[in-house]
Amino acid sequence: MTPPKKAPPNAFWLGPEDLAEPDPIHPDHYKGGGIETIDYIQAKLTPKEFVGYCRGNVLKYVSRAGQKDDTVQEIGKAIWYLERWRDSLLRTRKPT
pLDDT (tens digit per residue) in 14-29: 455 554 556 666 666 6
CB burial class (10 A; 0-12, 13-18, 19+) of residue 24? middle
pLDDT band at 33 (very low <50, low <70, confident <90, very high): confident
pTM for this structure? 0.65
Q: Is it the case that residue 56 has pLDDT exceeding 50?
A: yes
The Cα–Cα gap between 58 and 83 comes to 10
Which residues does 87 contact at the CB level (< 8 Å), separation at least 6? Answer: none
The mean pLDDT of 34-51, rounded to a whole number, is 92
pLDDT in tens, 58-93: 999 999 999 988 899 999 999 999 999 999 989 888
Give, as one character, the DSSP assignment of residue 40. Answer: H
Whether the CB-CB separation of 84 and 25 falls below 8 Å is answered with no
What integer pLDDT is reported at residue 11 of this predicted model?
Answer: 44
